[in-house]
């Protein structure tokens, strides 16, 4: 490695992935849901806890989750990490895990997440963050109003319409209808989205992510070892992140996220470009996210996102498969959705997605966002053919 752009390309691969408790899982704690997902991912990979020597993840309700989850499963990791960049955490942890694997620090990593926010609280768990008084005094609905402000600016600068935002929610719902695990699968039209209760203009309730329970886990190992696993390895080809602010009032330009930096660097590491991507999984906490990230990651020019998603272009019948599980808008959103972008990306490249499977998918882009459009982390995954 000489200039750093090669990074961790192809050094590590996902060999197991699973979700658990998507929707409602009453009677279990967030940690227990994470344990269940971890056991399913371990079974998927065909390994036991004793095969894992690196532990990476987050729980909404336990800041010392690294030691808690390891103790529970009986893992004695040589290295563990829990960072604090919101819903983008997991896509950063895969980067860290791949570096640890490439450096020989560990051989096999568990990446986990679990939350029971719906059963426990019935509202969005804003994972241990708080607003400063400089914003809180004005009583925004947190975090919805922060994203609504970004949407207002995008509409002002680029003529993005209320209908175009609704297109994002409708596309997500149509994908969810192809996913038996998705939480909301009722038919949804643009008119339905626009007629639903307004929360914080321009957003109605259908522009906002779900409040569900749910957990997910992934197993990552070195590229050499990955060939011995029963699952088709999915390689991490590119990873990059960046963040510019915590609170929305400190975001330099509300129409441009740090994905405009993380995306190009992840593509450079992967040696790929947007047109090489077969399936796109974006953290869609709100409808504006999908539009902003499609622009910032290079799938359409800045300002064109609204028109780009129109006429069902990112829906199952459209030209570009985006959020094929139904996303945070219609599949699952337990508070930190990022890990689900990775699980769907891995399973698409393994050909395991049944009715929503993208035929012959070889490259997936997974993108996590944390805070209020704050932290942006991009992962690019590929099958052996693109290694």
Partner 1 sequence: MTNALPGTSPEKLVFPDQSPDTTYQDFLRNNQFCIQHCNECQNFLFYPRLCCPHCSSVDLEWREASGKGTVYAVSIVRQRPEKGGDHNVVLVDLDEGPRLMSRVDGIPNEDVKIGMKVKASISVNTDEDGDTRMVVFREA
Instruction: Select 3 or 139, whichever has its Cβ closest to partner 1.
Output: 139
Q: Which residues pair with 145 in a beta bridge?
A: none
Instruction: Select 195 or 250, whichever has its Cβ closest to partner 1.
Output: 250
Site string for partner 1, 259-278 (x = CB under 8 A): --------------------
* Residue 145 binds partner 1 (CB under 8 A): yes
Instruction: Select 200 or 290, whichever has its Cβ closest to partner 1.
Output: 200
Among 135, 192, 242, 304, binds partner 1 (CB under 8 A): 135
Q: Which residues pair with 79 in a beta bridge?
A: 54
**What tokens were used for 374?**
């704050």
Count the Cβ atoms, other than its own, within 10 Å of residue 50.
10
Among 30, 54, 143, 202, binds partner 1 (CB under 8 A): 202
DSSP state of 46: T
CA distance from start to end of the chain:
17
DSSP state of 216: E
* Residue 195 binds partner 1 (CB under 8 A): no
| Backbone phi and psi for residue 151, each to the nearest 5 degrees, phi listed first | -65, -40
Instruction: Select 287 or 383, whichever has its Cβ closest to partner 1.
Output: 287
Instruction: Select 249 or 357, whichever has its Cβ closest to partner 1.
Output: 249
* Residue 199 binds partner 1 (CB under 8 A): yes
* Residue 250 binds partner 1 (CB under 8 A): yes
* Closest approach of partner 1 to the CB of residue 306, in Å: 16
* Residue 198 binds partner 1 (CB under 8 A): yes
* Residue 105 binds partner 1 (CB under 8 A): no
Considering only CA atoms, which of 43, 22, 42 is closest in space to residue 33? Answer: 22
* Binding positions for partner 1, 156-185, rule CB under 8 A: 156
Task: Measure the CA–CA gap between 298 and 275, rounded to whole angstroms.
Answer: 9
Instruction: Select 12 or 151, whichever has its Cβ closest to partner 1.
Output: 151
Stretch that binds partner 1, among 66-74, 228-236, 242-250, 374-382 (CB under 8 A): 242-250
Among 26, 48, 78, 134, binds partner 1 (CB under 8 A): 134
Among 138, 273, 319, 354, binds partner 1 (CB under 8 A): 138
Query: How much of the chain is in helix, strand and coil states, percent to nearest 5?
Result: 40, 20, 40
- Contact criterion met (CB below 8 Å) for 381 and 236: yes
Considering only CA atoms, which of 378, 351, 74, 51 is closest in space to residue 222? Answer: 51
- Contact criterion met (CB below 8 Å) for 371 and 86: yes
* Residue 139 binds partner 1 (CB under 8 A): yes
Stretch that binds partner 1, among 105-113, 249-257, 335-343, 363-371 (CB under 8 A): 249-257
Instruction: Select 84 or 141, whichever has its Cβ closest to partner 1.
Output: 141
* CA distances, 326 to each of 39, 64, 168, 209, 349 (Å): 24, 31, 10, 11, 17
Phi-psi region of 271 (alpha: psi -120 to 50; beta: other; left: phi over 0): left
Among 25, 109, 150, 239, binds partner 1 (CB under 8 A): 150
**3-class secondary structure, 308:** helix
Question: Which residues sit at the interface with partner 1, rule CB under 8 A?
Answer: 132-135, 137-141, 145, 148-150, 152-153, 156, 197-203, 247-250, 254
């Amino acid at each position: 490695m000489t200039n750093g752009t090669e990074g961790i390309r192809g050094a590590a691969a996902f060999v197991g992935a699973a979700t658990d408790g998507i929707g409602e899982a009453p009677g279990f704690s967030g940690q227990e849901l994470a344990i269940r997902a971890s056991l399913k991912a371990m079974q998927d990979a065909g390994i036991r806890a004793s095969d894992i020597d690196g532990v990476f993840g987050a729980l909404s309700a336990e800041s010392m989750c690294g030691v808690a989850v390891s103790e529970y499963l009986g893992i004695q990791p040589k290295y563990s990490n829990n960072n604090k960049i919101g819903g983008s955490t997991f896509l950063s942890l895969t980067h860290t895990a791949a570096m640890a694997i490439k450096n020989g620090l560990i051989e096999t990593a568990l990446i986990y997440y679990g939350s029971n926010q719906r059963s426990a609280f019935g509202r969005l768990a804003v994972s241990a963050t708080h607003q400063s008084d400089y914003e809180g005094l004005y009583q925004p609905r947190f975090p919805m109003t922060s994203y609504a402000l970004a949407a207002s600016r995008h509409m002002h600068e680029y003529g993005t319409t209320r209908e175009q935002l609704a297109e994002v929610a409708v596309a997500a719902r149509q994908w969810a209808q192809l996913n038996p695990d998705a939480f909301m699968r009722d038919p949804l039209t643009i008119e339905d989205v626009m007629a639903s209760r307004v929360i914080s203009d321009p957003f109605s309730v259908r522009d906002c992510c779900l409040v569900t329970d749910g957990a997910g886990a992934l197993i990552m190992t070195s590229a050499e070892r990955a060939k011995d696993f029963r699952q088709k390895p999915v390689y991490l080809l590119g990873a990059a992140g960046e963040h510019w602010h915590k609170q929305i009032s400190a975001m330099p330009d509300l129409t441009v996220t740090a994905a405009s930096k993380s995306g190009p660097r992840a593509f450079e590491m992967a040696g790929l470009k947007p047109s090489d991507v077969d399936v796109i999984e974006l953290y869609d906490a709100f409808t504006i996210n999908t539009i902003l990230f499609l622009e910032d990651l290079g799938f359409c020019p800045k300002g064109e996102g609204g028109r780009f998603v129109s006429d069902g272009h990112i829906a199952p019948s459209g030209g570009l498969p985006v959020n094929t599980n139904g996303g945070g808008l219609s599949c699952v959103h337990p508070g930190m959705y990022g890990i689900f972008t990775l699980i769907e990306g891995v399973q698409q490249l393994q050909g395991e997605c049944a009715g929503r499977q993208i035929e012959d998918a070889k490259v997936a882009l997974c993108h996590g966002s944390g805070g209020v459009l704050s932290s942006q982390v991009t992962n690019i995954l590929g099958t052996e053919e693109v290694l």
